[in-house]
Amino acid sequence: MSYTLQQLSEKLNGELQGKASKKIINVAEIQNAGTRDLSFLANPKYIKFIESTKAGALIVGKDFKEEYPNLIKVDNPNLAFSKAISLFRPSPANLKPGIHKTAVISKTAILGSDIYIGPNVVVEDDAVIENNSIVYANTYIGNHARIGAGTIIKPNVTIYHECVLGKNCLIHAGTVIGADGYGFVRTDSNIIKIPQAGHVIIHDNVEIGSNCSIDRGTLGNTEIGKGTKLDNLIQIAHNVKIGEYCFITGQVGVAGSAEIGNMVTIAGQVGIVGHIKVGDRAILTGKSGITKDVAPGSIMFGFPAQESKIARREMAGIRTIPDIRKRLKNLEKKLKDKDKE
First-residue to last-residue Cα distance in the chain: 89
238 in catalytic set:
yes
Catalytic residue chosen out of the listed positions 172, 199, 203, 238 = 238
CB 219 within 8 A of CB 198: yes
Q: What is the dihedral of CA 270, 274, 279, 285, to 10 degrees?
A: -10
Which residues belong to the active site? 238
